[in-house]
Amino acid sequence: MKAFIKTLFGDASNIAGVALIVAVAAGLTGLGHPAWAVFAMPAAGLGVVAWLARH
């Protein structure tokens, strides 16, 4: 079961990284700047990828 869950969601840092990407998109959308999210979300995604690659 543990292997099943890990395959689906990844480890804690993976989940935290994706939560950050979604928070950036949801935050900017909630603040009324969805057009900024078009640029900020991919940038956050690449930042999270870089962080995960070093872990």
Partner 1 sequence: MDWPAFLPLFLTAAVEWVEAFTIVLAVSLTIGWAASLSAAAAGLGTLAALTALTGGALSLGLDLHAIQFVIGVFLLLFGVRWLAKAIARQAGLKALHDEDAEFRETRAKVSKGDWFAAWLIAYKGTLLEGLEVWLVVVAFSLHSQAWVSNGIAALVALLAVFVAGLAVHAPLRRVPENAIKFVVGAMIVSFGTFWTLEALAGDVWPLGDWNLMVLAAFFLLGGQALVPIVRGGARGVTA
Q: In sequence order, what are the residues at sequence separation of 6 or more whose Cβ sits closer than 8 angstroms to the Cβ of residue 44?
A: 20, 21, 24, 25
Name the H helices within the chain.
2-9, 12-30, 34-54
Residue numbers 1-20 binding partner 1 by CB under 8 A:
3-4, 7-10, 14-15, 17-18
CB atoms within 10 A of CB 21: 19
User: In whole angstroms, how close is the CB of 38 to partner 1 at the nearest point?
Assistant: 6
Closest approach of partner 1 to the CB of residue 11, in Å: 9
Q: Where along the sequence are the contacts to partner 1 (CB under 8 A)?
A: 3-4, 7-10, 14-15, 17-18, 21-22, 25-26, 29, 34-35, 37-38, 41-42, 45-46, 48-50, 52-55
